[in-house]
Amino acid sequence: MTRLHDLTALEQAAAVRSGEVSPTELVTHCLRRIEALDAGLGAFITVTPERALAAAAQAERRLRAGGELPPLLGVPTAIKDLTSTAGVRTTFGSRVTADHVPTVDDAVVTRLAAAGTLSVGKTNTPEFGFPGYTDNDVVGPARCPWDPTLLAGGSSGGAAVAVAAGLVPVAHGSDGGGSIRIPASVNGLVGLKPTRGRVSNAPLGSEVTGLVTHGPLARTVRDAAAVLDAMAGPEVGDPWWAPPLPPGETFLAAADRPPGRLRIAVFTESPMPDAVLEPEIVTALDDAAGLLAELGHDVEEAPPSLLGPEVLPAFERVWALSGATLQVPEGRVGELRPLTRELRARGLALSARDALESLATLRAVSRRFLRATAGFDVLLAPVTTMTARPIGWFDADGDGAADFARNERYAAFPALSNITGQPAVSLPLHRTAAGLPVGSMLVGRPADEATLIALSAQLEQARPWASRHPAAWGSAAG
């Protein structure tokens, strides 16, 4: 028997249009599953049933009125709690801002609503999104539904858990150094970080570093592409924007066409000079390379020595810049978690010269790297160096600097595409002997999400994953 959460987002949208199911039924189903399951998973910080049901009723009125309908009308989703939502508590994962209620929506929230999606709440995120795992002093950790003793990754960990456990079909995430792709890998999902400027950070998102963008977490490539279509587009005043698709083209359409024969480079050089891959990660990477070759692509090793020793220290300083701008009253700094305090202190200690030179270094590295890899259509790389980490592995000793160092070793690869601005996706192509997901990362040419999506869809067709679910999926709450 097919249950409502077995349907993909696009299937739900089609069922709403045909009258097989109502938006209220979909939202009620999601809320019921959240109530039954989320206490043991930590996907959500705030759930908004009244707002979601009111939006569902409005969607039903729109259906009855007829006329042109948005593509995802009636599909439930959730917004990461780093992203402002007017009238809804937005904690940024911190007890210092636990009562913050924005007066404006971020542009991506407005675009998702315009596409017809219905948000049921705000998903769990670490304090101000700094680490590659999700835990905080507001609601605690986001737990991997495949093994709740493990962290769900971050910083979009709550979003990934919500999708992987069937609480919502798709969710919004954001990514400044792997924060969509890491939890996608850990939880067995498609996690797509678009190219820089594809999705606007307006009106309040940080534009200084150019590292952060919004993107989707989904069970299928087609769902991820459809949500990217909903998110994409610049806002007036954006400092950069990706070139639009040709007239009439969509990212969803790209998922339905063959990618052609591509030249793909396996890339295992990291800004972390001593990064070591666990055997299970090596197996996953080799398996993905073999599958790509079987599908007819030209797979080869990337040229060596594409990154210099200047990359890591420059990235560390630029990452800490965000800590310098935190709106935290001096009297409450002690309430921040050790990692946040550490990065805030590092950011405030930077001179203007150090900050600007670090930004310039990353721009120079980006240009050099993009030129050196311009002959390849796609790069294949690990997402993380290790499988999912146990709860407490990063921060049990309370040392912020050590926590940051562990994050760097764990997530030694994904930040490079934030530096270069390239689109990148994590695909759930591998399972460990214990059944835990391990993602493989594909990185595309700048502004070429279309090729990345077409290739991802080809891989999904060759090795389908959407029907693989953790135990929570079959809960009686469904």
Q: Would you name the residues annotated as active-site residues? A: 80, 155, 179
76 strand-pairing partners: 118
Residue 115 has, within 13 A of its CA and on its CB side, a CA count of 24
Work out the number of other CB atoms within 10 angstroms of the CB of residue 367: 11
Over the Cα atoms of the chain, what is R_g? Answer: 21
Residue 76: cis peptide before it, omega within 30 degrees of 0? no
Q: What's the CA gap between 16 and 25, in Å, rounded?
A: 10
How far, rounded to the nearest angstrom, does the alpha carbon of residue 50 sit from its chain's CA centroid?
Answer: 27
Q: Is 50 exposed, middle or buried (0-12, 13-18, 19+ CB in 10 A)?
A: exposed
CB-based contacts of 66, cutoff 8 Å, min separation 6: none
State how far the Cα of 354 lies from the Cα of 419, in Å rounded to an integer: 17
Q: What are phi and psi of 143, to 5 degrees?
A: -105, 140
Other C-beta atoms lying within 10 Å of the C-beta of residue 85: 24
Half-sphere exposure of residue 175, counting CA atoms within 13 Å on the CB side?
39
Structure tokens at 334: 């002690």
Nearest to residue 264, comparing CAs of 90, 456, 94?
456
